[in-house]
Amino acid sequence: MPSIAQVEPMTTARALRGPFDYRLPEELRGGAVDVGSMLVVPFGRREVLGVVVGLADSSDVAAGKLLAPLRALELGVPAEMVALAGWIAEEYCSTLARALTLVLPPGATRRLSGRRRRDVAPARQLPVGARAPQPHALNADQEAALASVRAALATGEVHERLLHGVTGSGKTEVYLRAAEAALSHGRGVIVLVPEIALTPQTVGRFVERFGDTVAVLHSQLRGAARYAEWRRLREGRARICVGPRSAVFAPIEHVGLIVIDEEHESSYKHEGDPRYDARDVAAERARRSDAVLLIGSATPRAESARLPASRLPRRVDGRPLPPVDVLDMRGEDHGLHPRTAQALADVRDARGKAIVLLNRRGWSNFLSCRSCGLVWSCPHCDVALVLHRGGGFVACHHCGHREPAPERCRECGSISVARHGAGTERLQHELTSVLDSGDFPIFRLDADVTAAVAAGAGERNGRRPASTGASDPDGVAGALLRAFEGAESGVLIGTQMVAKGHDFPDVTLGVVLDADATLRFPDFRAEERTFSLIAQLAGRVGRGRDGRVLAQTIAPQARAIAHAARHDSDGFLAGELERRRALDYPPFSHLIRVVCSAEESTRARDAATAIRGLLALAPPADGAGSVLGPASLFRLRGRERESLVVKAAQRRPAVRAVGEAVSRVAAAREHQGVHFSVDVDPQ
């Protein structure tokens, strides 16, 4: 009977790596403690939470020196999640302790007491668009998609499948039936959605269909309520987990199906350490438990194009996708093209609804002095400050720095301050003054609105019902969407939040302003993002009645825009794959980005150069890799940054080589004070 527990202490220090051996007292042997159990252990002079990662009969440590755990906590994680955490630590160049924090019950590292918690029933809001509680009869395309999932579940083999269905083609109904099939085989289900707040309809349909079998891990669920949902899953009382990226760690045993809805969404990538990608973790988890991975999108990523695909080429209501007109803005001096202005006025006169996307928050992008040319910029970052007129401040969208909106130039004293560009706040103001004479509300949805309303600051926002009862950002977004849905007519404007999977049957006009804005990012995914943004917005339009889309741009010939206007995702993907192959970008290679930051730019650059030097000595993946950089990034939060990008044919050896090079440079005296971040598959 194993008497030694190998325990990984939950400390975030990178230098400290377990596991460490502890002697199990009699009462904790023989099954009471297993891989995945949580123990409180003496560690130096502290008590820390530790996770059992292995059991053994003997230890290299002398028996007299072995310590015993202080106590065991009642409910640990399944053993398979410990193994998955090990994989994540390796794959994303992190530590096991950090990876384990992802799979532990909510709040575990903060609460060491292990006292019993009361089960709290999580609050459930009425889902947006809860119109059809009873299942639809599937159409032939849906049937075919479901059949392949059923077949894989029946054989119990790993299976990855892409559900490539146009917007409104009924992908969710396929997920629901697939989940039903998995349950009937005694298997658990994980459904990943980009953001709960922006996908309340998908969540609502699962809750409606499966009731208490579903646990929803809302990001707004906190403390006891969140733990209660986790516990229902851990104890098998709930067998389906719906949630954002972290739900991929749901403590479900015997997972048979993992669904990733809207797989193209960048929110699946986690930006903290470990910088995991929930899509890759889901694929690994599915492989480990012989489960089916079903990933759905109308605009799949180039990475997903390699999978066998089921297609839903038509909308369920038989309506065509709305025609998209590209409006050339070269030579236009007003923000709205005359045809856009006319189309919005027509919607108002017809008492209809429209959605307008402008992927830029605030009032003006930047301010400058008309006399001396001073541009207001962030004291901590090399970026311009954005004016938020309603709040009376200018803000940095990178570090959060704020200062009062200037009344005069601090250099020359001039009171003539020019405002450049327009964001959602200004757009709301202008559309309200042009269109709304009292009964045509202009709703705004962006991060400022959700944050301000949540904080009680109450930035004016259309005629939102006075009390939505929501006090957190997620709840605010949901309440706004419900208000727009419930309104008789009006316009919803906002950042990319307005283009997510909402299903409103009465929107007849979609407008994308500055459609090429996302193209100008220096990022190899810029084209894919632009294509998907336009296609997804078009997806919100013309469900239930005829509709159309207008895309304003100064780059009407751009490939992403032209393909989106034709709803040609196959053509776009084919071109994109060709381009990626020519440039040796993912999915034809793996990228690893290392960012070195320091207060002085020379120190950041020296560290990056040193890493580059080490990588040249031990080229990742047998010389198949290449290193780009160092290249300077803009100063952020008072730190100068230099980045290296490693391109490699094979991921594991490259991750290892980069990890070793970074550790060596980080440990060197001359690079003290430099921060390092390693991002595998940066987004």
What's 307-357 look like in SS3?
CCEEEECCCCCCCCCCCEEEEECCCCCCCCCHHHHHHHHHHHHCCCEEEEE
The angle at the Cα of 110, spanning 199 to 74, to the nearest 5 degrees, equals: 90
Q: Which is nearer to ligand ADP, 8 or 261 (CB)?
A: 261
> Is there binding between residue 168 and ligand ADP (CB under 6 A)?
yes
> Is there binding between residue 141 and ligand ADP (CB under 6 A)?
no
Question: Is the link from the previous residue into 630 a cis peptide, with omega within 30 of 0?
Answer: yes
> Is there binding between residue 246 and ligand ADP (CB under 6 A)?
no
In the complex, the residues that contact Zn ion under the rule CB under 5 A are 369, 371-372, 374, 378, 380-381, 396, 398-399, 401, 409, 411-412, 414
Q: Could you tell me the smallest distance in angstroms from the CB atom of residue 203 to ligand ADP?
A: 12
Question: Dihedrals φ, ψ of 590, to 5°?
Answer: -115, 140
> Is there binding between residue 263 and ligand ADP (CB under 6 A)?
no
* Partner whose binding site includes residue 138, from Zn ion, ligand ADP, none (CB under 5 to 8 Å by kind): ligand ADP
Q: Could you tell me the smallest distance in angstroms from the CB atom of residue 130 to ligand ADP?
A: 10
* The one among 101, 148, 172, 496 contacting ligand ADP by CB under 6 A: 172
Q: Which is nearer to ligand ADP, 80 or 262 (CB)?
A: 262
* The one among 132, 345, 455, 667 contacting ligand ADP by CB under 6 A: 132
| DSSP tag of 277 | B
What span, in angstroms and rounded, lies between the C-alpha atoms of 500 and 299?
12
Closest CA to 676 of 603, 625, 619: 603
The number of residues making up the chain comes to 683
> 114: how many CB neighbours lie within 10 A of its CB?
16
* Partner whose binding site includes residue 650, from ligand ADP, Zn ion, none (CB under 5 to 8 Å by kind): none
Q: Could you tell me the smallest distance in angstroms from the CB atom of residue 411 to Zn ion?
A: 5
* The one among 74, 126, 136, 157 contacting ligand ADP by CB under 6 A: 136
* Partner whose binding site includes residue 109, from ligand ADP, Zn ion, none (CB under 5 to 8 Å by kind): none
Q: Which is nearer to ligand ADP, 136 or 351 (CB)?
A: 136
Q: Could you tell me the smallest distance in angstroms from the CB atom of residue 305 to ligand ADP?
A: 18
* The one among 18, 36, 50, 165 contacting ligand ADP by CB under 6 A: 165
* Partner whose binding site includes residue 377, from ligand ADP, Zn ion, none (CB under 5 to 8 Å by kind): none
Quick note: the x/- pattern for ligand ADP over 496-535, rule CB under 6 A, is: -----x-x--------------------------------
Q: Which residues pair with 404 in a beta bridge?
A: 393
How many residues sit close enough to ligand ADP to count as binding (CB under 6 A)? 17
* Partner whose binding site includes residue 368, from Zn ion, ligand ADP, none (CB under 5 to 8 Å by kind): none
State both tokens at 616: 């040249």
> Is there binding between residue 448 and ligand ADP (CB under 6 A)?
no
> Is there binding between residue 597 and ligand ADP (CB under 6 A)?
no
What span, in angstroms and rounded, lies between the C-alpha atoms of 611 and 93?
15
Q: Is 560 helix (H, G, I), strand (E, B) or coil?
A: helix
Q: How far is CA 148 from CA 151, 190, 296, 574, 682, in A?
A: 5, 18, 14, 25, 32
> Is there binding between residue 310 and ligand ADP (CB under 6 A)?
no
Stretch that binds ligand ADP, among 129-137, 220-228, 328-336, 442-450 (CB under 6 A): 129-137
Q: Could you tell me the smallest distance in angstroms from the CB atom of residue 505 to ligand ADP?
A: 8
What span, in angstroms and rounded, lies between the C-alpha atoms of 202 and 17?
41
Closest CA to 175 of 220, 198, 209: 209
> 505: how many CB neighbours lie within 10 A of its CB?
14
* The one among 170, 300, 441, 478 contacting ligand ADP by CB under 6 A: 170
Q: Which is nearer to ligand ADP, 303 or 503 (CB)?
A: 503
651-667 helix and 601-617 helix, angle to the nearest 10 degrees: 130
In our burial notation (b when 16+ CB lie closer than 10 A, e otherwise), range 433-472 reads eebbeeebbbbbbbebbbebbbeeeebebbbbeeeeebeb
> Is there binding between residue 169 and ligand ADP (CB under 6 A)?
yes
Residue 390 near residue 408 (C-beta atoms within 8 A):
no
What span, in angstroms and rounded, lies between the C-alpha atoms of 187 and 253?
8
What's 387-408 look like in SS3?
EECCCCEEECCCCCCEEECCCC
* The one among 37, 142, 424, 552 contacting ligand ADP by CB under 6 A: 142
Look up tokens 């290679």; give the residue. Answer: 589
Determine how β-strand 417-420 pairs with β-strand 442-445.
unpaired
> Is there binding between residue 171 and ligand ADP (CB under 6 A)?
yes
Q: Is 33 helix (H, G, I), strand (E, B) or coil?
A: coil
* Partner whose binding site includes residue 397, from Zn ion, ligand ADP, none (CB under 5 to 8 Å by kind): none
* Partner whose binding site includes residue 170, from Zn ion, ligand ADP, none (CB under 5 to 8 Å by kind): ligand ADP
Q: Which is nearer to ligand ADP, 4 or 149 (CB)?
A: 149
Q: Rule CB under 6 A: which residues touch ligand ADP?
A: 132, 136-139, 142, 165, 167-173, 316, 501, 503
